[in-house]
């Protein structure tokens, strides 16, 4: 899936060579990597032996439009010039090194295995961040595969550094969970624009009668189908809101290339706008523009990172409720390798993209808000607008990047799956299975005081997300540890 709101990575590769080794060795090995990689890797013709070469090579890859860089040690490599590349390049950089075996061990030995250690040491001396794979030494084919794995990492890093999160708040009353210091955003390089819900309402009203509304309504009707479009008279209001957000993104993007939203959606929103915003939010995230609920700024950021990492749409859900014993006994026990405490239900009112839901999904009304805001026994009116149904079975990665109350950035990642189990409930909802979720719930989510929102990527992307978060400088990256690896707060006598 290709989105306009996430970066397109253009990779370049620069080979480096220490002057006491044959430069031809590094150059020929670079050519082999480029051939093994195939299309999409710009081959810089300058092989770097000294600082002047480094400047020439940087000028060349910039002129070629590269926004991510591979520094390839075809032999031992020159320590200062090869780290100047990372220091002066404007995007993320990775380092890989050539394995021996493509020639003899006299004139064909490059010692890049040794040189990679010095490259890492020199990056540290200069406090430079670079991606180094788990085992960064390989054949041409192996290095090409490492470079492919770097692409989504680079995409996420570029995206974060060029992202603006636009908020409409403040958060709902007595709802501290989504309140977090914005200092962490600036430390990551993210810009934030904070607006009031009233600003959004003024802009929405200004879009009344917009000539584009009819086309958006037609697109919504086509997406929902006959059975999913339960309130066709509601479409013009929702289409007007969709255009409001899209126009705001374009006019407020400013110096940034990419945008995400964190919007207040209750309690005042539905009565004043005349609908719930959930379905519109789902449509925007399906196009690569996250719109997090309840002014969850770090939820929007997490969603955006997940889209960059996966190249697919995502969702944001409450870590919501336990699975009843009877559902576990009927549909899970003996069929899936999960204990009851490995399972839970992830829920939100209706913001998950239609393409990730079961076929019977439909626009409905927000039951909780209907109870709260509309007369008892009345038909739903302005609480309509949620996209509801079970979320389709899929491999998933549940994750979040958060700034805690002390201003520290921390994160978690857990891989699992959405089970093919009917929820018997309302909203956009699914039964999740994550191994050791019970322990993870207590000793990561609870112990480290994470809010109840988690981002969901539809696939297993833990490896990529872990590397992205490391590159962004996150020190605390928690995961669902096996029983053999207790958490620090886990009672060994329990």
DSSP letters for 398-427: EEEEEE-TTS-EEEEEEEEEE-S----S-S
Cis peptide before 255 (omega within 30 of 0): no
CA-closest candidate to residue 192, choices 222, 235, 163: 163
Strand partners, 481: none
Rounded to whole angstroms, the Cα distance separating 265 from 294 reads 6
Give the Å distances, CA to CA, from 456 to 31, 104, 166, 282: 39, 49, 21, 13
**Tokens 């879009």 belong to residue:** 207
First to last CA, the chain: 47
Instruction: Give me Rg for the CA atoms of the chain.
Output: 25
- Residue-level pLDDT at 172: 80
* DSSP, res 444: I
- Residue-level pLDDT at 1: 63
Q: Residue 155: which H helix or E strand, with range?
A: helix 140-161
CA-closest candidate to residue 156, choices 288, 44, 280: 288
CA-closest candidate to residue 72, choices 38, 113, 26: 26
- Residue pLDDT, tens place only, 105-146: 988 999 999 999 999 999 999 999 999 999 999 999 999 999
Q: Residue 292: which H helix or E strand, with range?
A: strand 291-292
- Residue-level pLDDT at 95: 98
Instruction: Compute the Cα dihedral for 200, 202, 206, 210 and give only its sign.
Output: positive
CA-closest candidate to residue 72, choices 17, 11, 141, 150: 17
The three-class DSSP label of residue 123 is helix
- Residue-level pLDDT at 176: 75
CA-closest candidate to residue 283, choices 261, 298, 267: 261
Rounded to whole angstroms, the Cα distance separating 416 from 419 reads 9
- Residue-level pLDDT at 173: 80
**Tokens 């209001």 belong to residue:** 237
- Residue pLDDT, tens place only, 468-489: 999 999 999 999 999 999 999 9
Residues of the chain falling short of pLDDT 50: none
Instruction: Compute the Cα dihedral for 307, 312, 316, 318 and give only its sign.
Output: negative
On the CB side of 14, CA atoms within 13 Å amount to: 33
Residue 339 CB neighbours (<10 A): 14
- Residue-level pLDDT at 170: 84
Residue 333 CB neighbours (<10 A): 13
* DSSP, res 329: I
Rounded to whole angstroms, the Cα distance separating 492 from 494 reads 6
Rounded to whole angstroms, the Cα distance separating 204 from 239 reads 10
The three-class DSSP label of residue 490 is coil
Rounded to whole angstroms, the Cα distance separating 281 from 352 reads 8
């Amino acid at each position: 899936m290709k989105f306009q709101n996430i970066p397109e990575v253009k990779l370049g590769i620069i080979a480096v060579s220490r002057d006491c080794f044959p430069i031809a060795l590094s150059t020929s090995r670079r050519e082999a990597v480029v051939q093994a990689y195939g299309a999409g890797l710009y081959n810089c013709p300058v092989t770097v032996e000294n600082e002047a070469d480094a400047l020439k090579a940087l000028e060349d890859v910039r002129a070629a439009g590269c926004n991510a860089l591979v520094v390839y040690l075809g032999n031992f490599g020159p320590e200062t010039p090869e780290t100047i590349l990372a220091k002066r390049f404007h995007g993320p950089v990775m380092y890989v090194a050539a394995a021996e075996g493509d020639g003899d061990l006299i004139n064909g030995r490059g010692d890049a295995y040794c040189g990679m250690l010095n490259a890492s040491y020199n990056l540290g001396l200069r406090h430079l961040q670079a991606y180094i794979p788990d085992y960064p030494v390989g054949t041409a084919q192996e290095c090409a595969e490492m470079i492919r794995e770097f692409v989504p990492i680079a995409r996420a890093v570029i995206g974060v550094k060029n992202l603006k999160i636009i908020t409409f708040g403040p958060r709902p009353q007595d709802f501290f969970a989504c309140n977090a210091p914005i200092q962490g955003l600036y430390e990551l390089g993210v810009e934030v624009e904070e607006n009031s819900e009233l600003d959004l309402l003024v802009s929405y009203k200004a879009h009344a009668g917009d000539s584009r509304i009819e086309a958006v309504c037609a697109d919504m009707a086509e997406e929902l189908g006959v059975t999913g479009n339960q309130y066709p008279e509601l479409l013009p209001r929702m289409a007007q809101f969709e255009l409001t957000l899209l126009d705001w993104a374009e006019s407020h993007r400013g110096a940034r290339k990419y945008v995400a939203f964190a919007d207040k959606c209750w309690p005042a929103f539905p009565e004043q706008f005349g609908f719930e915003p959930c379905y519109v939010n789902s449509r925007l995230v399906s196009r690569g523009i996250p719109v997090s609920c309840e002014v969850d700024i770090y939820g929007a950021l997490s969603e955006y990172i997940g889209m960059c990492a996966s190249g697919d749409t995502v969702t944001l859900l409450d870590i919501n409720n336990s699975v009843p014993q009877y559902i576990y006994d009927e549909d899970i026990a003996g069929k899936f390798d999960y204990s009851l405490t490995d399972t839970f239900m992830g829920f939100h009112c209706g913001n998950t993209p239609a393409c990730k839901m079961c076929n019977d999904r439909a626009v409905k009304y927000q039951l909780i808000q209907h109870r709260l805001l509309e007369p008892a026994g009345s038909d739903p009116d302005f609480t309509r607008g949620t996209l509801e149904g079970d979320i389709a079975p899929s491999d998933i990665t549940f994750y979040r990047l958060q700034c805690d109350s002390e201003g520290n950035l921390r994160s978690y990642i857990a891989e699992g799956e959405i089970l093919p189990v009917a929820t018997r409930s309302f909203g956009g909802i699914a039964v999740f299975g994550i191994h050791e979720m019970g322990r993870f719930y207590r000793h990561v989510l609870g112990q480290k005081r994470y809010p109840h929102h988690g981002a969901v990527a539809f696939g297993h992307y833990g490896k990529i997300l872990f590397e992205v978060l490391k590159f962004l400088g996150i020190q605390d990256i928690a995961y669902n540890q096996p029983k053999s690896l207790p958490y620090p707060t886990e009672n060994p006598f329990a």
